[in-house]
Amino acid sequence: MQEHRAGPEVKAETPVQATLRRAVFALLVTVSLVALVVGKAEVYVFDWVKSGVGDVLAPVLQTVTLPVRAARDIGSNLGRVAALTEENAQLREENARLRQWQSLALRLDGQNRELRRLLRFDPGEEIRTVAARVIADTGGPYARSMLMDAGSRQGVRADQAVISGEGLVGRVMSAGARSARVLLITDRRSHVPVLAGPDRVHAILVGNNSARPHLRFLPRNAALAAGDVIVTSGRGGIFPPGLPVGDISAAARSGGGVEVVPHVDWTRLEFVRVIDRDAPDVACRGIDAGASRPGGARGGSRCKHYRAAAHLACALDRRPRRACPCRCGSALLGRTAPGPCAGAFRLCCRPHA
Amino acid sequence: MPAPFVFAVGLTHDSVADAPFGLMALVYLFVLGAARSQRFLVVGQPFVAGWAVFTVVACAASALAWLGASLYYGAALSVGAPLAVLLLTVLTFPAVAGALAVLDSAALKRSA
């Protein structure tokens, strides 16, 4: 192995140069510390920087990850060749079963449409989606996020839900012009209001930077079993209701909550869809019509500037605090217990990107 | 390497890896400071000594990053992923250092 050797002689720096160098070094350390403190106080300040860097590096990352993806696919496919015969037999069996379900579904769909027509049922808001390719798993040791190749030019904005064919992936954290960063449901900053099990118990799915997020704020008497399905509840206004998220794992309830196995296979995630609900202030209308009027009372201005879960802000600002059913995050959970929940309030009310 | 360049690399890393903004910039500045003040430990020493010093600095940098991230998020984060990154960094050092040494020699020959 080659040995290190002394480099060429360098000219010694003058005292002034040394002082200047130390001053620059100290200044940069201070700037780093200030950036950390500012970022902690208001997490959205540096989003535009990160979005810009993502936009610039998106083509590079896309190119760099191509051979990695190809190698991973080859390895994965080789491993599956051996199991193809058995898988084929299983698929035939499943196909036959699904055909029966299809005929049942078609019959029920016709019946459903007929009944809706009779009731003049309003199907609610139409959901538009934007397809995107995952170009990089950018999360480091301290984050679980990814970069996709659709940004504000394609209609992607912060706080939109992101799904795959398997289930909920996460939400858009920040959007640049051509790329956007998605916060995965496994990241510790992710909090998703969900319904758990056949009893549809309200809970919050909280990421922990591992492959298995936890359910928190479950009622004490919640009866959940391994394999119970978790879907989004729709509370909070970010995630539409009914999106499949995962299953409760076989592991017993631990101190950190119930473990959930997400439906999404993170290692094979290639394409996603971004749900564009495009309904700002929609939640405000249900609480207080006056609150969403521009130039109205305090609640109005807040609802104008805060999109997600604006109903909470309305409830907070338009009513006396004592009369408020919930002061903050507990409203998301459908609980009335008061408590120190400033963090949850921040979760509910994100400013427009 | 000039400190502003190291700072910019750190901020880019923070942006790409979605780390707390300023964390890796601070860690890289720490590494730069350590490298500047302690370079006499590796200059003229065998490769293994350089690798050992690199390992110590990498461990310290990883610990600092983990501590900073844990303080930032207000909870003790899992050490599994940072340890995996550290291990990979230390194990790939010979290959990367060898490649850089070859480039360094070529550049010196060209300039001579």
Looking at this predicted complex, what is its ipTM? Answer: 0.81
Question: Phi first, then psi: what are they for A207, rounded to 5°?
Answer: -75, 160
Minimum mean pLDDT range among A64-68, A170-174, A218-222, A312-316? A312-316
- Using the Cβ of A70 and the Cβ atoms of chain B, whether some distance falls under 8 Å is answered with no
Give per-residue pLDDT as tens, A232-253: 988 887 888 888 899 888 765 6
Q: Which residues of A touch B68 (CB under 8 A)?
A: 36
In this complex, the residue of A4, A28, A32 whose CB is nearest that of residue B44 is: A4
CA angle A44, A210, A231 (to 5 degrees): 80
What is the distance in angstroms between the Cα of B81 and the nearest Cα belonging to chain A?
5
- State the Cα–Cα distance between residues A251 and A331, nearest whole angstrom: 29
Q: Compute the CA torsion angle A245, A250, A254, A260 (nearest 10 deg).
A: -10
| N-to-C CA span, chain A | 53
Question: Which of chain B's residues have a Cβ under 8 Å away from the Cβ of A1?
Answer: 47-48, 94, 98
Q: In angstroms, what CA-CA distances link B60 with A94, B45, B57? A: 54, 21, 5
At A222 the pLDDT is 77
Of the partner residues A24, A173, A181, the one whose CB lies closest to the CB of residue B4: A24
Those residues with Cβ within 8 angstroms of residue A256's Cβ, 6 or more apart along the chain or in another chain: A208, A214
Query: Which of A2, A9, A10, A32 to probe by mutation at the B interface, max B CB count within 10 Å?
Result: A32
Residue numbers of chain B with a pLDDT score lower than 50: none
Tell me how close the Cα of A167 comes to any Cα of chain B, in angstroms. 23
Q: How confident is the prediction for chain A on average, in pLDDT?
A: 72
Contact A61, B17 (CB under 8 A): no
Stretch 274-313 of chain A: residues touching chain B, C-beta under 8 Å: none
Which pLDDT score is estimated for A251? Answer: 61
Q: Do B68 and A4 touch (CB under 8 A)?
A: no
By Cβ distance, the residue of A7, A25, A145 closest to B3 is A25
Residue B52 host element (H or E): helix B47-73
Q: Which residues of A touch B25 (CB under 8 A)?
A: 28, 31-32, 35
Task: State pLDDT tens for residues A69-110.
Answer: 778 778 777 777 778 888 888 899 999 899 989 889 888 988
Residue A78 neighbours by CB under 8 Å, 6+ apart: none
pLDDT at A283: 38
Nearest to B16 among A7, A57, A208 (CB): A57
B25/B19 Cα distance (integer angstroms): 10
pLDDT at B34: 86
How large is the greatest C-alpha to C-alpha distance in chain B, in angstroms?
Answer: 54
Nearest to A6 among B18, B44, B47 (CB): B44
Which tens digit of pLDDT belongs to each residue from A276-286?
A: 866 443 333 33
Interface test with A, best of B6, B15, B38 (most A CBs within 10 A): B15
Distances from the Cα of A220 to the Cα of A160, A230, A248, A253, angstroms: 31, 17, 16, 11
CA distance A220 to A216: 11
Put simply, whether A47 touches B (Cβ < 8 Å) is no
- From the centroid of its chain, how far is CA A288? 28
Minimal Cβ distance to A4: which of B3, B18, B42: B42
Give the distance from residue A333's alpha carbon to the nearest chain B alpha carbon, in angstroms: 23
A139 Cβ under 8 Å from any chain B Cβ: yes
The pLDDT assigned to A35 comes to 86
CA distance B96 to chain A (A): 12
Mean pLDDT of A110-139: 77
Mean pLDDT of A137-149: 82
* Domain range annotation of chain B: 3-111
End-to-end CA distance of chain B: 22
Chain B residue closest to A183 (CA)? B18
Torsion angles phi and psi, residue A122, rounded to 5: -90, 115
Residue from B7, B11, B21 to probe the interface with A (highest A Cβ count within 10 Å): B21
Q: Which of A25, A36, A139 sits opposite B72 (nearest CB)?
A: A36
Q: Do B16 and A138 count as a contact with CB atoms less than 8 A apart? A: yes
Whether A319 has a pLDDT exceeding 60, the answer reads no
